[in-house]
A and B are shown apart, each in its own frame.
Chain A
């Protein structure tokens, strides 16, 4: 029961919301669509659901045209970023609502509601009203309602975006188990967060300015981003991208001492490149190139230090939480063996290796 989008395009006021989007969504797989705000993620979901008309392109389900199928016959359930529940109905009533409309028997409704509430961990909450629930619980009710319908297509639009980070962390863990157990359902899930896309997705689709830039398993997209834009979107903080040159066996980056070219870049012809280096692969050292701290952010258990070397901004990720003051001078060290090389247009040329080491490591 494959769902295929071919060449979907939509322009609103001269801005591309969807630009030649072609993608295949397979049953039993979770597809995460990652992109920044306004990348076209919500528009794509709405188009798949039939809630959004497009200018051109087609949608098929197992080869059969879907474009003329009305919304209510598309076998699709959707969960939104802002939790939507019927305030006057109980938790049970909320989940049962679409089932009653379908005219299912009392027993069948009872069975399905109990099952999906159990899946989202809300057994025992049947009689509560949404207003008596926390934000995380309200979003679980919305997810349960979508699951109970047992549709072939399940669309989730940034379902964790409005929750605080402890709840996001918890629901992300729960979703991983929950969605891996949905049989033949096609699940499409949008997010702005790389960790969420990586953790949940069987397949990751990277979107930017209405286009799909790359599709692949999370590991592949992360380790081999096709362009500098993908590299920036799939990393949090975004990958450091800066210009440099390879010449006579040396890598030069403005502000840094030239270093001997690492093995993985050795075969590249001399010339100008854009280099990419993850925030985890820039370190603060006792010796190195001096940069002034412009901003410090704390995210979960990591500290992101933003520092400028000349005019080039860098972000450095350090494990743990550290007090670093704005304006401090720090010494940066780039790890040449971890450099990504992109050509001047931003297309990937060479990646560092990810040898999967077994136990122990360094």
Chain B
């Protein structure tokens, strides 16, 4: 398993286009060996372009791709020693499950006993060991995808496994269990995995680290928890989490910020020159309280969404809409106006759409 480095890689499908129109704006990334990464973003964000650059399907307009420090930018796909899993299962229909898994090893001229041991090890992990003799064409789509993944895992020397929306054609009911299986197997075999998806849940459930992309740019890379707790931009705050992070515009009064005339302390001090400051706070951290105190504000109830174990209160604070997520047991406020507390540690400062870092 290799570490993959993306060094100032950028790509434009139209030669000579301005950089701001590139499908992938120049970026620098490191994918550590043995970890699973998800590239997530809406269509057109550049995630597939980046994957294709890693696989060698697209030669980048600029920059270098390094596999364990070796420059592979000019190498074709077959010379990169990667395994790929596509949207549609690609397997040999004329072969059995066993033969499908053994094929890449036979191509590498492994001896029979070694092949046999490896195939059984991987098949067991995939829960396919009782079906090794079956013709592969008789399997369901999700099992076929597992074989596609298994073909990558049997090869000890594979640099990385690249997966492009592998759950696309899987029945909704089975998506869940296949996602679980992929996570288990990657934990067990620890390949370097780059997993492309447009689905945030899938990205966060499958991968140890998530890279959120938008308009050809990497917006933020981090663990799901990091993306949730400290989104580096308003976009990530919106894209990760449901309901999205709340953003309220603050007024500046001398060294303080105010919301509807009352002081709001944000998580950390920010430079006095920062203009147009917003506070970002997750609906989970907004608390309904009875006693006024620091960082409490009058809220007006506009609507209630019943989600089951939680309710989402749609409220107005200082004339700005926000949401608060409360446990069902807490009930619904019986009055239209009440107080909410915005805990300081969770009230993050943003300016021009980006998190203002702690100085």
Contact = CB atoms under 8 A, between A and B. Distances in A.
Interface stretch (A91-99, A267-275, A291-299): A291-299
B16 interface: no
B335 interface: yes
B173 to A, nearest CB: 4
B334 interface: yes
B284 A195 contact: no
Interface string B193-218: 00000111100110010000000000
Interface string A224-236: 0000000000111
Given A321-B227, A359-B334, A278 B309 contact: yes
Contact of A298 (B224, B238, B306, B335): B224
Interface in A330-362: 354-362
B334 A321 contact: no
B329 interface: yes
A359 B242 contact: no
A192 B173 CA distance: 10
Contacts, number: 128
A46 interface: no
B332 interface: yes
A300 B201 contact: yes
Nearest to A199: B305
Contacts of A198: 306-308
A299 B171 CA distance: 18
B325 interface: yes
Interface stretch (A67-75, A104-112, A164-172): A164-172
A222 to B, nearest CB: 6
Contacts of B225: 320-323
B205 A359 contact: no
Interface residues of B, number: 53
B140 interface: no
Contacts of B139: none
Contacts of B239: 166
A219 interface: yes
Given A296-B205, A301-B284, A36 B173 contact: yes
B184 interface: yes
Contact of A326 (B172, B187, B338): B187
Interface residues on chain A, size class = 35 or more
Q: Which of A198, A218, A278 lies at the interface centre, i.e. has the most chain B CB atoms within 10 A of its CB? A: A198
A308 interface: no
B144 interface: no
B330 A298 contact: no
B104 interface: no
B204 A360 contact: no
A37 interface: yes
Contacts of A299: 201, 205, 242
Nearest to A304: B205
B178 to A, nearest CB: 12
Nearest to A358: B334
Contacts of B242: 165-166, 169, 299-301
Contact of B330 (A36, A279, A300, A357): A357
Contact of A361 (B42, B229, B331): B331
Nearest to A196: B307
Contact of A219 (B238, B306, B327): B306
9 contacts: A165-B200, A199-B305, A234-B308, A280-B327, A321-B240, A356-B331, A358-B334, A360-B338, A362-B330
Given A356-B331, A357-B331, A359-B335, 10 more contacts: A235-B309, A296-B183, A300-B201, A301-B228, A301-B242, A301-B243, A319-B284, A357-B329, A357-B330, A359-B333
